[in-house]
Amino acid sequence: MAWVLLIIAGLLEVGWAIGLKYTEGFTKLVPTVLTIFAIIASMGLLGKAAQTLPIGTAYGVWVGIGAVGAAILGIVLFKEPVTPLRLVFMVMMIVSIIGMKATSGH
């Protein structure tokens, strides 16, 4: 169950990271409220998952999901650059997330 909570927390991290762009410096009410909700929910679920999982693993996976997800959505939603090297590093982060899970002992 901790892994499910951690994955949801990571996806919420993607949501709040992308939400920051839509808040326009926290000047737009609805995106700001949704972003703050996603931050609180993401942190809460990370904390719950960390009760069972090693903190280094939980935090590393959470950050990795957020970073890769935000990078992918940045490309899709905001037309951020796609370069071969950027894609290589994103794949490396995904491999790292899988490695953290595989070696966590949980």
Look at residue 39 in the predicted model and tell me its pLDDT.
Answer: 98
DSSP secondary structure code for residue 104 in this structure: S
Enclosing domain of residue 79: 2-102
pLDDT for residue 17 is more than 90:
yes
Q: Summarize pLDDT for 24-38 with one digit per residue, the tens.
A: 999 999 999 999 999
Look at residue 94 in the predicted model and tell me its pLDDT.
Answer: 95
Tell me how many domains the chain contains. Answer: 1
Q: Summarize pLDDT for 38-91 with one digit per residue, the tens.
A: 999 999 999 999 999 999 999 999 999 999 999 999 999 999 999 999 999 999
Greater pLDDT, 18 or 103: 18
* DSSP per position, 8-66: HHHHHHHHHHHHHHHHTTTTSHHHHHHHHHHHHHHHHHHHHHHTTS-HHHHHHHHHHHH
